[in-house]
Amino acid sequence: MKQSNQAYVYAIGAVCLWSTVATAFKLALQHFTPLQLVFVAVTTSIFTLSIIIMIQGKRRLIKTQFVARPFFYLQTGLINPFLYYLVLFKAYDLLPAQQALSLNYTWAILLPLLSVPMLRQKLRKSDMTAAILAYLGVFIIATNGNLTDFSFNSGTGVILALSSTLLWSLYWIINTKDKGDAVVSLLLSFLVGFPFILVTLLLTQALPSWNVEAIAAGVYVGLFEMGITFVLWLVALKKADRTASITTMVFITPVMSIGFIAWILQENIAKTTYLGLGLILLALALQQILPYVNTVRIKNTSERSL
């Protein structure tokens, strides 16, 4: 099989697995508090990533990369997994899965906006257009279409879901400065973040119960939200002839996720969720397409002038 075809296989696997995790979050939260779920999932992910790194023969990089930049991994570990997943799981605990999923997905819109002040990148018209459309979709979803009376199912849940997009965007902005192996860096972030998770859990709550069904749900989240799926996605990007052809496949994830939420969780998907999610996906598509259209237009204009 050609490398480009292998890239699609890995990407489809990652997208399919990521599409199930919103449902898995809600099922796991029936047994765990958000912090307990973070503990079980991160523990699972640490073991999984460690095994993958040993299979890849990269074990020596763990010490090398950490010693080179310990403060960097302290930053990333505090954000992801500690703060990001704690905030995200709490949002899922307070909101219907369809709302938490859609609101969290706007991180891809926020990321380029934050890159302007933090990475000194230029703000494109396409970014502003996408932001306006996406956050209109957020507002429709958060208010259930009641645009005039600002009625929220859970104001706290909405704030947490949007805060998770800020944390995730900050994590990726910080990671632009990382020159090490991506899988090793993820493991180091989890290793550094784990003590904060454990200490917070011991000081505020009880350790999770060892119910088989509960642990299975937590392990699933650790494997397919944080561990294996991330590696599949990295391999897909590495094998792809064109990165853009792979990254656009992420647009499929929330659509498939809504299907799993309706089928497994039996949530009645509101019309406002479809409308809001449609606006968010349209915003993401425009964010990708408009810069390309403008580049082609400029190129054609230059060729005609010659």
Q: How many domains does the chain have?
A: 1
Using one digit for the tens of pLDDT, what is the confidence trace for 58-105?
999 999 999 999 999 999 999 999 999 999 999 999 999 988 988 888
Question: Alpha helices of the chain — where are they, by DSSP H?
Answer: 3-28, 34-55, 59-68, 70-77, 84-94, 97-104, 107-119, 125-142, 155-175, 182-204, 212-221, 228-239, 243-247, 252-264, 271-305
With a CB cutoff of 8 Å and minimum separation 6, the contacts of 193 are 42, 76, 77, 78, 80, 81, 82
Res 190: pLDDT: 96
Average pLDDT, the chain: 86
CA 61, 64, 65, 67 dihedral sign is positive
What are the tokens at 300?
């054609």
Print the domain residue range for 78: 3-305
Say if residues 127 and 187 touch (Cβ distance below 8 Å).
no
pLDDT reported for residue 294: 60
Tens-place pLDDT, residues 249-286: 777 888 889 999 999 999 998 888 889 889 888 888 88
- Give the dihedral of Cα atoms 118, 124, 125, 129; nearest 10 deg: -50
For 175-218, write each residue's pLDDT tens digit. 888 888 989 999 999 999 999 999 999 999 998 888 888 899 99
Maximal C-alpha separation, the chain: 72
Question: Distances in Å between the alpha carbon of 238 and those of 3, 4, 52, 65?
Answer: 9, 10, 16, 21
Neighbours of 173 (CB within 10 A): 14
> What's the rounded Cα separation, in Å, for the pair 208 and 32?
7
State whether the Cα torsion 91-25-137-167 is positive or negative.
Answer: positive
